[in-house]
Amino acid sequence: DYPLLEKLFKANPDKNFVFVGPYHEESIPDWWYQTSNVHLIGRLPFEDLPSVLKGFDVAIIPFKKDEVSNTIFPLKLFEYLGSGKPVVISNFNKDLKEFTHDTVPFCIDAEDFTLNITEALNHDNEDKVKARIAVAEENTWERRMKEFSNLLSEYLNKKKSSL
CATH no. for residue 10?
A: 3.40.50.2000
What is the residue range of 147's domain?
2-161
- Report in angstroms the alpha-carbon separations of 16 from 1, 4, 59, 145: 17, 16, 11, 38
Task: Compute the chain's Rg from CA coordinates.
Answer: 19
- In the chain, where do the E strands start and end? 17-20, 38-42, 59-61, 87-90, 106-107
At residue 148 the predicted structure's pLDDT band, cuts being 50, 70 and 90, is: confident
Give the lowest-confidence range in 83-92, 101-110, 147-156: 147-156
What is the domain count for the chain? 1
Q: Per this entry, what is the length of the chain? A: 163
Question: Which tens digits make up the pLDDT trace of 60-83?
Answer: 999 999 888 888 888 899 999 999
Nearest by Cα to 133 from 97, 91, 94, 86: 86
d(CA 25, CA 132): 33
C-beta neighbour count of 102 within 10 angstroms: 8
Phi-psi map region of 117: left, alpha, beta (phi>0 left; psi -120 to 50 alpha): alpha
Please check whether residue 105 is in contact with residue 88, taking contact to mean a CB–CB distance below 8 angstroms.
yes
Mean of all residue pLDDT scores within the chain: 91
Phi, psi of 23 (to 5 degrees): -155, 160
CA torsion through residues 113, 4, 36, 42, sign: positive
pTM: 0.84
Question: Which tens digits make up the pLDDT trace of 110-136?
Answer: 999 999 999 999 999 999 999 999 999
